[in-house]
Chains A and B, each alone.
Chain A
Amino acid sequence: MAEVLVLVDHVDGQVKKVALELLTAARRIGEPAAVVVGEATDGIKAKLAEYGAEKVYTAPAELDDYVVAPKAELLATLATDRSAAAVLLSATAENKEIAGRTAVKLGSGVLTDVVDITADVVAEHSVFGGAVVTHAKVRTGVPVVAVRPNAIAAEAAPGAAVEEAVSVELSDSAKAARVTERVKQEQGSRPELTEAAVVVSGGRGVGGDDFSVVENLADSLGGAVGASRAAVDSGWYPNAFQVGQTGRTVSPNLYIALGISGAIQHRAGMQTSKTIVAVNKDPEAPLLEISDFAVVGDLHKVAPQLTEEINKRK
């Protein structure tokens, strides 16, 4: 069976959940081969084995000293050398870029923001803000596919996870854009936004930089906190938490929107959430049209009552 390369997202020695989802998808197509850039800790390798990685290719962390191009060189080289059946990545902004460059190198095609994928690499997309569902495939070469986190449920299945270190001789042009500094904003102890099963987001309706009404509800559900652009632009919550077209795309089991009108750019980032709940004082807010359950009222009354009720029922 041909190998299916999976670029593994990991942070602080932990595999991100989306990598396990990708391994699950890869098993439909062929033999999953994980690609880890940076240190593959025992913890990482164990997780990859648990979710079916037959191989674990490891590459030096230096690839991350430059923007995108080195990882594309790595993936393209591996895909060619191992005659891979497909290359799968998570559909983050950076990984979509890696996917694009990898496909150019392979002379193949790229599909991004995929929500499902079949054994013969036909990919499902949800486009135009969720209004249209398309199926698409790559016609030439090794398909490169970026899959949305939380779209495919991860299922465990043992794999051999045979480790193999790979070295890449980076071209000069791959080293053209150097990362000279990394600035991280505090994430706190909440789950990562795109990985979380529950996301509670606050918008302009929160009314100020005291986001505790949103945070408390998120914490009662073990969820992540998100924000609309209006809230981020007002300086009430950090940029990294913006949900939407130009923020993060989330697809949790439960999305709760507090004081968010539901502009198309916001919906673009959360429309594929499985269940949507909204609290808004305006019965005409567009978000109510796509909500499964909505309360028309003041979020500062409704959300604390909900939080209290959840904590009571635990």
Chain B
Amino acid sequence: MKALEIDNLYKKYGENVAVNNISFDIEEGEFFGFLGPNGAGKTTTIGAITGIVKFDQGVIKVFDKDVVVDYREARMMIGISPQENNVDIWAPAEKILWYIGGYYGMTRNERKEKIPELLKLFDLERHKEKEFRMLSGGLKRRVMLARAMMHDPKLLILDEPTAGVDVELRHELWDYLKKINQQGKTILFTSHYLEEVEQLCNKIAVINKGEIIALDKKEKFTENGSSLEKTYLELIK
């Protein structure tokens, strides 16, 4: 089954075409790398999938649910960790998780059960009562990831989740993402660190100037002894 189907997505900001009729699919269980330079259209595409961006044309489906027509069902299956922190900075980590669980229809008991689990998983137990604004960069990133996982989404969208994160957490995160991907979670992953994309993803799309310029299995990007970084740089020249 397809976890995500994007068909002829088009989005313009004023005169600037951000995404120009792009189409691609992600199969259920895939670890999908979505690469491109800054301003290429990655975040706009993710915004269109999650409902933050109103797109001009095209159809997006998440596990066969249209993100506009069946937005409730579609959003129930998506968890997003955005590039920039978009939380109430005066709320403590525990509250942030409590609220987001509620938005996604989780009962009080479900939330009471899930929150300690996530706080432990992301090593946030000692910081659960601190206001978000008081946390370090790495801890903030952990809260964002825990928030994305709160309602146990089938499709996890991670927009540069390791930006500003220390090496230790980055490795812990890689291990965790590999584990949940092996358990069946579909992941859409963007990053400027190509070595982690190479290590984690099994399929990669490259977007540049609003258009998909390459889409293939990871091995295709690294065949003939080339590195992903070298292939990528050639593609976006």
B partners with A: no
Interface residues of chain B, those whose CB is within 8 Å of chain A, are: none
